[in-house]
């Protein structure tokens, strides 16, 4: 028996966007999500069931309007609430692809990249859009262990390098034949309440310079003719709901900026990182993008007034809150297993390879039955993936209407760190991704094939001929 939970009368429609909430990070589903006449979930004007018939399953479905709205809210609220100049850059680690980079670039945002691969993808997208000349102003290269080859690649393309540690700094001094633009990443020692794996600001972190060495660091940088240090950076963590840690961070960084200036280092930019949380479930209550930007801007202004220092150029680098709720993952229901008085498992055709977040961080998600949106969700079931791993559970105790094989389940808010952390575990080909906008659906990532899976494999002659 599937356990009935009749006192709860949830429906798929309960997760649809609320018209009174304008910030995408405060919705569980994309802003265009609605129910159509067939009682199907529709996103970006496209019927999700039809999308699966056309593009296959599992399928990432990315809503262009949600990404555009979040991007413009970041940009416009900085213009509105911060009296100095500002720039928003997209933390492309959240999801990096040609289409996503060009979508974000078309909204006037820059990029945080953390590897040669992310840098290549971003450069390629900008080149195809005819924006190569702007790349230098748009790309910021992060990372705690950039290789000399990656550093050279960033230097060739005149990107700003966010230097993380002494080894990198010394490598850059050797590599730089002409002045290069850098920023310094500092560990601010600020705690925030989020999963320990995605906390980065505390003193015990692998990222950034130890703030106890600031004086030596600023002195060293100032003496390097080929290093032009334009700013300071810190990032305290991800999926944060409180405003205070970022306000504290603003205060700390403005203080360090003033110290740098006293030591003769004319840094004019403060990059406060990303980290604003999103609503994966009803109990997640993040501030809106506008509220977050407003709080941060006010904190920088206040700190500058207190120290009598001029307003820096302010940068933020959101990832999750730009793309998280813009995407859903559609799966097809297959087998099920009822264990009387224990639980019922419903298995889908993907799992930890396309969404490693539940097994990695115990992350919670909400799910709807896309082909029967108005049906009451009366049954408590556990949504299992198809991997050979007991922990491959997408959602424990999800509420759904009665399901059958072939139904389309849609897991909400899967835009950030799902595709980007996906794998081929058990040699599952990665899903396709489509971008939906006003009734049009464009494939932006092809589904991998079995051929793709063996493309990098090499079978030595010796093994073929072994008898």
DSSP structure string for 366-391? -EEETT-TTSEE-EEEEEE-SSS-TT
Determine if 238 is a binding residue for ligand LLP (CB under 6 A). Answer: yes
Residue 223's CB is within 10 A of a number of other CB atoms, namely 10
CB of 306 to ligand LLP, least distance (A): 26
Q: How far is CA 352 from the centre of its chain?
A: 17
Q: Could you say whether residue 274 binds ligand LLP (CB under 6 A)? A: yes
Determine, following the binding rule CB under 6 A, whether residue 278 of this chain makes contact with ligand LLP: no
The residues facing 110 across adjacent strands are 89
* 29 or 418: CB nearest ligand LLP: 418
The span from the CA of 66 to the CA of 64, in Å, is 6
388 is catalytic: yes
**Measured between alpha carbons, how far is 410 from 330 in angstroms, rounded to an integer?**
4
For the chain, the first-to-last Cα distance in angstroms comes to 54
CB of 104 to ligand LLP, least distance (A): 13
386 is a contact residue toward ligand LLP (CB under 6 A)? no
Measured from the CB atom, is 319 or 350 closer to ligand LLP?
Answer: 319
Separation of alpha carbons 171 and 390, rounded Å: 45
Give φ, ψ of 197 to 5 degrees.
-70, -25
Asked if residue 319 binds ligand LLP (CB under 6 A), the reply is yes
The smaller minimum CB distance to ligand LLP, of residues 52 and 315, is found at 315
Q: Which is nearer to ligand LLP, 40 or 142 (CB)?
A: 142
Minimum distance from CB of 185 to ligand LLP (Å)? 7
Number of residues near ligand LLP (by CB under 6 A): 24
Range 170-209, binding ligand LLP (CB under 6 A): 198, 200
Tell me how far, at minimum, the Cβ of 268 lies from ligand LLP, in Å. 20
Compute the distance between CA of residue 70 and CA of residue 85 in angstroms, rounded to an integer.
19
Is 146 a binding residue for ligand LLP by CB under 6 A? The answer is no
**Closer by beta carbon to ligand LLP, 87 or else 200:** 200
Residue 320 in the binding site for ligand LLP (CB under 6 A): yes
Q: At what angle do helices 166-175 and 148-156 cross, to 10 degrees?
A: 50
Beta bridge partners of 434: 61, 443
Q: What torsion, rounded to 10 degrees, do the Cα atoms 174, 177, 181, 187 define?
A: 0
What are the catalytic residues? 388
Q: Which residues bind ligand LLP (CB under 6 A)?
A: 91, 93-94, 112, 142, 198, 200, 235, 238-239, 273-276, 317-321, 357, 361, 416-417, 421
């Amino acid at each position: 028996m599937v356990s009935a939970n009749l006192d709860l009368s949830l429906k798929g429609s309960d997760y649809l966007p609320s018209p009174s909430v304008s910030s995408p990070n405060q919705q569980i589903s994309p802003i265009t999500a609605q129910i159509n006449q067939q009682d199907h979930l529709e996103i970006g004007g496209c019927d999700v069931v039809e999308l699966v018939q056309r593009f296959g399953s599992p399928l990432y479905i990315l809503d262009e309007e949600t990404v555009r709205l979040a991007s413009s809210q970041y940009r416009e609220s900085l213009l509105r609430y911060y009296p100095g100049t500002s720039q928003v850059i997209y933390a492309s680690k959240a999801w990096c692809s040609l289409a996503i980079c060009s979508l974000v670039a078309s909204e006037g945002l820059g990029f945080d990249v953390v590897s040669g691969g992310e840098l290549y993808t971003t450069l390629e997208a900008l080149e195809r859009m005819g924006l190569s000349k702007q790349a230098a102003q748009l790309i910021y290269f992060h990372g705690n262990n950039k290789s000399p080859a990656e550093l050279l690649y960033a230097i060739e393309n005149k990107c700003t390098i966010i230097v993380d540690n002494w080894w990198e700094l010394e490598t850059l001094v050797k590599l730089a034949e002409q002045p290069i633009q850098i920023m310094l990443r500092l560990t601010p020692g600020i705690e925030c309440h989020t999963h320990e794996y995605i906390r980065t600001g505390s003193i015990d972190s692998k990222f950034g310079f130890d703030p106890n060495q600031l004086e030596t660091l600023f002195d060293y940088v100032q003496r390097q003719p080929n290093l032009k240090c334009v700013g300071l950076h810190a990032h305290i963590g991800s999926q944060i709901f409180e405003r205070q840690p970022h306000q504290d961070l603003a205060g700390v960084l403005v203080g360090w900026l003033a110290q740098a200036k006293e030591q003769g280092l004319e840094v004019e930019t403060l990059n406060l990182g990303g980290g604003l949380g999103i609503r994966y479930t009803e109990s997640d209550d993040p501030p809106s993008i506008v509220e977050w930007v407003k709080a941060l801007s006010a904190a920088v202004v206040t700190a500058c007034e207190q120290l009598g220092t001029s307003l820096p150029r302010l940068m933020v680098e959101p990832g999750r809150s730009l793309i998280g709720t813009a995407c859903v993952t559609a799966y097809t229901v297959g087998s099920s297993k009822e264990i009387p008085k224990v639980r019922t498992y419903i298995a889908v055709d993907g799992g930890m390879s396309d969404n490693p977040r539940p097994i990695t961080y115990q992350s919670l998600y909400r799910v709807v039955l896309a082909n029967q949106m108005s049906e009451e969700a009366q049954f408590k079931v556990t949504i299992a993936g198809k991997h050979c791993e007991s922990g491959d559970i997408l959602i424990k105790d999800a509420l759904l209407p009665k399901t059958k094989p072939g139904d389309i389940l849609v897991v909400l808010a899967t835009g950030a760190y799902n595709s980007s952390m996906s794998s081929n575990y058990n040699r599952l080909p990665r899903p396709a991704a489509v971008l939906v906008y006003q009734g049009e659906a464009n494939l932006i990532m092809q589904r991998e094939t079995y051929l793709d899976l063996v493309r990098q494999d090499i079978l030595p002659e010796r093994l073929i001929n072994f008898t």
